[in-house]
Structure 1
Amino acid sequence: MAKQIISGLVAPVDAGKTTLTEALLYQAGHLRQLGRVDKGNAFLDPDQLEKQRGITIFTHQAALDYQKLHLTLLDTPGHIDFAAQTEQVLQVLDYALLVVPANDSLRGTTRTLWKLLARYHVPTFLFINKTDSIGADAPAVINQLQTELSPACIDFTAAPVTTGGTAEAIAMQDDAVLENYLATDRLTVSQVQKLIRQRKVFPCYAGSALKLTGIQALLDGLAQWTVEPPAAGDHFAARVFKVSHDRNGNRLSWVRVRSGTLRAKAEILPGEKADQVRLYDGDKFTIQQEVPAGGICAITGLTSTYPGQGLGHATTAPQPRLQPVLSYAAKIDTDNPRPYLRALHELADEDPQLKLSWSQQLQEVRVQLMGTVQKEVLEQRLAQRYGLQLHFTGGQILYRETIAQPVEGVGHFEPLRHYAEVHLRLAPGFPGSGLTFASQCREDVLSHNWQEQVMTSLGAKEHRGVLIGAPLTDVKITLVGGKGSIVHSVGGDFREATWRAVRQGLMELRAQKACVLLEPWYQYRLTIPQEQVGRAINDLQGMGADFQLTEGDNGALTTITGSGPVATMRDYAITVRNYSHGQGQLECVVAGYRPCHNAAAVIAVHQYDPVADLANTPDSVFCAHGAGYPVNWEQVPSKAHFPYQK
């Protein structure tokens, strides 16, 4: 029986990822004709937008059988604007195939993908593509991979793998395996498979997907060195990694079955059944009655699913690390905006990170995007799929807020016949950690039921900072105390007290100037003619970016790397092309959030009053003489019923 493996192809744009997918399918006999991206006939780029742009925008699925391997391939988007979709796919893979061009040094997108593969613990094969192109140097690329990504990136093209120099390089990655290798002078197949599965070894292959060179060796390697993961149990568990709509408007929930069996007509969510279970191959599908553990399929009939959601006994995945950093707006100048909003809501259903918002007063719709290419694709999808013309402008920076030191926040909610008090410790978290919640409160102080209500309330809303009202991030919030009343406390009371405690603590830190405004930063790579380096450095310094210089081999080009604010650098690629007459190239990848380089100016422009934000009030409500009365956030700690810790 063939082993079932789910593998995703990931790569920066123009690395030849989709061409490699075509080559694998053709070499395995699944395709009779080799399609090409540049000719618009690639098997896994069936969408009209993908044909027009010559890039993969959506994740597509195909399968092949080779020797005793049944390999399901997920071809993911390569452009950095769609990397969040790629990240969602990583969560359901058995193995990844990272494609690296042989004629180019490691790009920022490649490094970002490598970090994401590590985050989701995905065993990874590498294929160095385009070895037939001018300037290609596969051994040099492998050396760079070993230096800059991992010394465990090992050339598997030299046979045999289990003895000789390759085996020694593999054994060096694990002390126990090395000890055994020194005693026997060889490795077993299972030892190599285990090291790959544990991400201690990353096999590297090389060739040209367009010329079909190296493809046979890659297929042989995938067949020999992959291991089918064991099922996670007998109970049904699956994870959603994509939501889309077919040509007839049917909503599709794409899932990986982790354990048990997915059956057609089964109730997957309360009140929602799997009407059809589809197995896709390109844009064609067959209807299945059931899909066992390890399989990937699309389900119709589910209306409330979202990417990352766990079904059955599966847990829901954490929020993707890659988040939009720009906000675009569009005016809907019509008496009937419903068709526009209906279409945008459907697209936001497929990609929740759009975070669609509509202002009736301004007749304006806002979406959150990664960059210009994603904006253009969104406009084209509205035109081609729905016949609607909409132009998004602005590209405003999406700021966030965090804190620089710990504090205890207090929230009290006690109108007549209600009672709850909550004490929370807010502490700085690691960059990129988001908001995390914990409890250090004894149950003899606050009962388990009330503690559960506090923890649920913490995760029930997006908490806002007090500088400009931007989303709060990188903060650990810990329940440290509180009080309830057996007679008067209800769940809603603890929700109110919890939210007020968060805001009260933030206001305390604001008064101490310990709140921090964050902005997104790029990691960039600028290749520029040597005579224009001075101009580039002046520009980068003016934009608040840091930089390092590396001369090219021929001395004609200089590479500048570093990081800088998205706010100042997002349009710089156009400037580079203009002053370098097309010879310069700038690649930018969002590298997370850092303290804002011009925080005072941004705060002044927003003119945000945190006390006036009634939906996020820092004040509390106490009760005296049979009536509730408001208490300013500054006075809440002194009036608290539970001891306050400064």
Structure 2
Amino acid sequence: MGDFVIEYGLEKEEIEKIYSRKTKYEMTPTLKSKVKFDNSLNIKEVLNVFEILNKEEPALNVLWDENLKEIHIHVMGKIQLEILKEVIKERFNLDVDFGKCEILYKESILKSTIGYGHFEPLGHYAEVHLLVEPNTRNSGITFNSKAHVDDLAIGHQNLVKTHIFEKEHRGILGGYPLVDLNITLLTGRAHKKHTSGGDFRQATLRALRQGLEKVENVLLEPYYKFKIKTNLDYMGRVISDIQKMNGEFETPIINENLVTIEGRGPVATFMDYSLELSAFSKGSSSVSFIFDGYDRCHNSDYVLEHRSYDKNGDSEYTSNSIFCSKGQGYVVKGSEAKLHMHCIK
């Protein structure tokens, strides 16, 4: 888990030392932002600059959106964007800015499920059965296989594993990346003549999506651990703010006129709090944030309403399976797929 600290109320030089400090942990981004630049600049030149920075710090996860012709990056906090602007100006003599920060949400499930996927248009064949279980929070995706080699060769089992890990897969709530799952290959089937490249990818993704649609899914958001140092006169205001921002806190530690309050809360509600704290305390207070993993989203309904993701309209992911009869492929809805699976019959 990232041990990256963002502390407000410090001088710029001190902040840069914190940002540049390497730890033994991987730094985990919590926000996404669009790169903004003057139209006179060559977009390929700008993208090349960010690709150079991405090699130096892969957590930036620089993404090029071909449809929107936009560059997006992932960051750990707003202060990182300010530092990036200066770094790019100093190293590459480019003036860039960044759009509004968006939270990097993720998805998982609350109960175990078995997903079935079959891909058999004419001339193709693959079937996959997956046990998908909720994993420990912030543990990522794990995979193992219980399939017998008599049913599915090791090579094909490895293909299923490859397709699970080849990229982040979208969930069904908002199309956000899936995390914290333990996926077990139960069984599967190939065809000596008809199975070809890509067939097991299709069957695997269909099995994964079909399983997700049968259980309750959960939206996750990033959380901060925070430490606030302020004057005793502002303790009541700070505690009230923490509660309004859906945070939780430990018993305040009072040392003469200084109060230290530690707690935990959503990045979405706390990421701008440093400015508010500084304003009402007239610069006498400070707050530090440490990324504290993902947990259940505090306002899932609001987030998903504004996301407007249609799981049935996602062209890459479907729970439907494809079977073949008399030389013709036909679609079976995910809700009925289990009844048609060859490995069950």
TM-score, normalising length: structure 1: 0.50
**Whole-Å separation in 1 of the counterparts to 2:38 and 2:6:** 36
Output aligned runs, 1:391-540, within 5 Å.
391-509=97-215, 514-540=216-242
What is the DSSP-based 3-state SS (H/G/I as helix, E as strand, rest coil) of the residue aligned with 1:441?
coil
- After superposition, the C-alpha distances for 1:583-613 in whole angstroms (9 at most, x for unaligned) are 2221111100010000011011101011211
Q: CA deviation at 1:531?
A: 2.1
How big is the shift at 1:12? 6.7
Measured after TM superposition, the shift of residue 515 of structure 1 is: 0.4
Amino acid at match of 2:54: A
Deviations 1:512-570 (A, max 9, x none): xx10100001111112222222211211111000112333232x122211101100011
Superposed displacement of residue 361, structure 1 = 4.1
Structure 1 residue aligned with 2:33: 328
CA distance in 2, matches of 1:493, 1:484: 9
**Do the aligned residues in 1 keep the contact of 2:5 with 2:289 (CA within 8 Å)?**
no
* CA spacing shift, 1:441–1:544, aligned 2, 3 Å: same
2:114 is paired with a residue whose SS is: strand
2:266 paired residue number: 565
Q: Which residue of 2 aligns with 1:54?
A: 13
Letter paired with 2:36: K
Cα distance in 2 for partners of 1:580, 1:11 equals 25
Which residue of structure 2 aligns with residue 590 of structure 1? 291
Compared with structure 1, are the counterparts of its residues 610 and 627 closer, same or farther at alpha carbon in structure 2 (3 Å cutoff)? same
**Does the 8 Å contact 1:401/1:516 carry over to 2?**
yes
CA distance in 1, matches of 2:299, 2:268: 10
Aligned letter for 1:487? Answer: K
Q: How far 1:333 moved relative to its partner?
A: 4.5
| 8 Å contact from structure 1 (residues 549, 559) kept in 2 | no
Question: Retained in 2: the 8 A contact 1:440–1:478?
Answer: yes
- Secondary structure in structure 2 of the residue aligned to 1:394: coil
Counterparts of 1:387 and 1:531, CA distance in 2: 46
Following TM superposition, by how much is the alpha carbon of 1:429 offset from its aligned partner in structure 2, in angstroms?
Answer: 0.6
Instruction: Please say if residues 222 and 295 of structure 2, whose CA atoms lie closer than 8 Å, have aligned partners that are also in contact.
Output: yes
Q: CA deviation at 1:448?
A: 1.6
Query: Residue 391 of structure 1: SS of its match in structure 2?
Result: strand
- Is structure 2 residue 37 aligned with structure 1 residue 78? no
Q: Summarize the alignment of residues 221-300 of structure 1 with structure 2, pairs less than 5 Å apart.
A: none
Describe the shift of the 1:529–1:332 C-alpha distance in structure 2 as closer, same or farther (beyond 3 A): closer
Measured after TM superposition, the shift of residue 472 of structure 1 is 0.6
Task: Return the offset for 1:377.
Answer: 2.0
* Residues 415 and 366 (structure 1), Cα distance of their counterparts in 2 relative to 1, 3 Å cut: same
Q: 1:576 aligns with which of 259, 270, 277?
A: 277
How far does residue 398 in structure 1 lie from its aligned partner after superposition? 0.3
The letter of the residue matching 2:13 is: G
Instruction: Give the deviation of 1:578 after TM superposition.
Output: 1.1
User: Matched residue of 2:194: which SS?
Assistant: coil
Where 2:54 maps in the other structure, the secondary structure is helix
Q: Is the 8 A contact 1:410 1:424 kept in 2?
A: yes
Residue type at the aligned position of 1:635: E
For residues 56-108 of structure 1, what are the alpha-carbon distances to aligned partners after superposition, in whole Å with 9 as ceiling and x for unaligned? 85xxxxxxxxxxxxxxxxxxx533xx56xx24xx3xxxxxxxxxxxxxxxxxx
Q: Distance in 1 between matches of 2:315 and 2:77?
A: 33
Identify if the C-alpha distance between structure 1 residues 329 and 11 changes in structure 2 by more than 3 Å, giving closer, same or farther.
closer
Q: Percent identity?
A: 36
Q: Secondary structure of the equivalent of 1:405?
A: coil
Distance 1:585 1:425 in 2: 47
Cα distance in 1 for residues equivalent to 2:337 and 2:178: 22
Q: What residue identity is the alignment partner of 1:574?
A: L
- How far apart, in 1, do the equivalents of 2:194 and 2:6 lie? 60
- State the SS of the aligned residue for 2:265: strand
Count of matched residue pairs: 339
Q: Give runs of aligned pairs for residues 564-643 of structure 1, distance below 5 A.
A: 564-643=265-344
- Residue identity opposite 2:324 in structure 1: C
Change (3 A) 1:505 1:333: farther
SS in 2 for 1:410: strand
Cα RMSD after superposing both structures: 2.2
Larger radius of gyration: 1
Unmatched segments (≥5 aa) in structure 2: none
Deviation of 1:53 after TM superposition, in Å, equals: 4.6
Q: 1:562 to 1:13 in 2, by over 3 A?
A: closer
8 Å contact from structure 1 (residues 13, 55) kept in 2? no
Larger relative CO (CA 8 A, sep 6+): 1 or 2? 2
Contact 1:332 1:364 in 2 (8 A): no
Structure 1 SS opposite 2:248: coil
Secondary structure at the aligned position of 1:482 is classed as strand
- Aligned 8 A contact 1:332 1:365 in 2: no
Alpha-carbon distance in structure 2 between the residues aligned to 1:435 and 1:574:
36
